[in-house]
Structures are given as C-alpha cells and as structure tokens.
A = this chain, B = another copy of it.
Amino acid sequence: MAQTGRSGCPINLTLEQLGDRWSLVVIRDVMFGNRRSYGELLAQSEERIASNILADRLKRLTASGLLTRRAAPTHRQKVIYSLTEAAIQLVPLLAHMGAWGRRHTRPSKELSVRAELLEKGGAPLWNAFMEELRHLHLGAPRPARSVSGELQAAYEKALAKRSR
C-alpha cells in the first residue's frame, strides 16, 4: 500500500489497514467460507486472487493482528489461519457492505442470498455468528445457537445452482 499522509481519524485508520481491493476479500473467505489455508484461499476464491497478492495479504493481516497462523495438527507444513477477535468484530462492517452492495449494485441473484440472510437477521444474527466464530477460531466455548450452517448452506446451494 502506498505511503500516505496519516491522520488520526478512525475511518482513515481503518482504510489504511483494510482499504484495498483484497484484504477484506481474504477476511470474508476465512469468515464466511471457512477457508483456513493458503491453498484453499487461492483455489476456491470466487474472484481468483493472484498468488503473490494472497501471500502478501496474509503476511500483512497477520502482522497487523487480524489473523494468526499455526501449523496444522496433521501435516507439519500445512498452515492454518485463524481470525482474531479484532477480525471477528468486522462482521457488522462486512454485513453492511453486503447489504449496501445488494441494494446499490447489480449482484447476481444467486450469490446475494447470504447477504440477504445477514441483512434480514440484523444485529442479533451477527452477534450469534460472531459467537460461533469465536468458538471456531479462538477456542471459545461452543455457543447455544448455531447460524453459520444456514448461512453456508444457502451460499453453497446458490453456488451449485449457479454452476449448472
């Protein structure tokens, strides 16, 4: 990212960390797509991110405390990325992005199903989903309500329908 004049404005600081084409796409894939390794993020990316850009973003996001990396228990060289609490707290932001994109751009109907669900569910749904992410990524206790299933199911169903 280019070096630019700084300012203490929180919106600007957020943009300095996440204001580029790919950072939030990576977060989104880890968050909603549950893609946890370099290979999964590279191959299953809907938008075909370039491999060097992906490597750079993973490095950057790890350095700035949005992701953590550790070796997979099965294979020593396989790396698993997890969201940090800071990243999990981006859920409302991404939900709003989805809602805005659904209203003010021309999303493919199939792929906006997830955003529609998130939008309709509002803050209670986001909170439930964030609890679930804390369980999955931070090892917090399993929450009572599980919502990622329905979100993911709707998304996969839409993807399958699309590829037909």
Place the interface of chain A in its size category. Answer: 35 or more
Complex contact A11–B47 (CB within 8 A)? no
Taken together as a complex, chains A and B put the C-alpha atoms of A149 and B43 apart, in Å, by 50
Q: Given A19-B20, A96-B92, A96-B93, does the pair A110, B8 have CB atoms closer than 8 Å? A: yes
Q: Is A75 an interface residue (CB 8 A)?
A: no
Taken together as a complex, chains A and B put the C-alpha atoms of A110 and B10 apart, in Å, by 11
Q: Inside 8 A of A106's CB, which chain B residues have their CB?
A: 13
Taken together as a complex, chains A and B put the C-alpha atoms of A47 and B6 apart, in Å, by 6
Which residues of A pack against B, CB within 8 Å? Answer: 1-2, 4-17, 19-21, 24-25, 28, 46-48, 65, 86, 89-90, 92-94, 96-112, 115, 162
